[in-house]
Amino acid sequence: MSLNTTHLNQSLTHFDHHSSFWLFGYGSLIWKAGFPYLECRPAHIRGWIRRFWQGSHDHRGTPESPGRVATLIPEAQAICHGMAYRITPETLAPLDVREKNGYLREVTTLHFDDGGSAEGLTYIATRDNAAFLGPAPLENIARQIALARGPSGPNPDYLLNLADALRRLGHRDEHVFALERMLTSLLKEQAPPTDP
């Protein structure tokens, strides 16, 4: 699949005729929506795990030094916690552009943490997209994140903010938290010594 998924996403018309619908965020959307919304509610989706397996050449890295950001990988019985936003259809167009680096809209069932469920959308970077990096030893992923920065800022901020946001929501994600521990110690090693 081509690197730029904007046009593919804009040909997907689910929810176009709804006055509002739910969008599930599991990455940067948890801590920084950056778009207008009508309400937000902690929620989860079933059958997916969050993994730092997607390359970021345009936000948290560059083509020469790509960062790593979150995508969802199918896994039976898994639960991925995040945040649901009720939005209007016009909100999707700028998101399609912002998330053009391989993410595609996917229709999914959102389960609200305080009960109830709704059909909605999420963005997933699937294995066949050109920026997909896939699995690697956690230490290698943490090292790659430590070194990358792009137009949206340092790649470490993405991971550290996500880990913080999940903790504030009261959810554990061992993949994210293990990467956070490794990254924190790498950043300490890299920090210049302070004066005595």
Task: List, by residue number, the catalytic residues.
Answer: 99
Q: Does 173 bind ligand BEZ (CB under 6 A)?
A: no
Q: Does 28 bind ligand BEZ (CB under 6 A)?
A: yes
Q: Does 29 bind ligand BEZ (CB under 6 A)?
A: yes
Q: Does 27 bind ligand BEZ (CB under 6 A)?
A: yes
36 vs 139 by CB, closer to ligand BEZ: 36
Q: How far is the CB of 190 from ligand BEZ (least distance, A)?
A: 27
Q: How far is the CB of 195 from ligand BEZ (least distance, A)?
A: 39
Of 52, 112, 103, the residue nearest 85 (C-alpha): 112
Residue 98, judged by CB atoms within 10 A of its CB (0-12, 13-18, 19+), counts as middle
**For residues 15 and 21, is the Cβ–Cβ distance under 8 A?**
yes
Task: Give residues with Cβ within 8 angstroms of 43, minimum separation 6.
Answer: 22, 24, 81, 82, 83, 84, 110, 111, 112, 113
Q: Does 25 bind ligand BEZ (CB under 6 A)?
A: yes
115-132 burial, b at 16+ Cβ within 10 Å, e below that, comes to: eeebebbbbbbbeebebe
- The continuous run of DSSP H or E covering 162 comes out as helix 155-169
What is the residue-wise DSSP string for 39-64? Answer: EEEEEEEEEEEEEEEEEESSSSS-SS
The sign of the CA dihedral 53, 57, 63, 68 is: negative
Q: Does 145 bind ligand BEZ (CB under 6 A)?
A: no
Q: Does 123 bind ligand BEZ (CB under 6 A)?
A: yes
Q: Does 26 bind ligand BEZ (CB under 6 A)?
A: yes
Binding mask of the shown chain, residues 93 to 122, with x at each position contacting ligand BEZ by CB under 6 A: ------x---x-------------------
Which segment (22-30, 86-94, 143-151, 184-192) binds ligand BEZ by CB under 6 A?
A: 22-30
Which segment (23-31, 41-49, 60-68, 136-144) binds ligand BEZ by CB under 6 A?
A: 23-31
Which residues are near ligand BEZ by CB under 6 A?
A: 25-29, 99, 103, 123
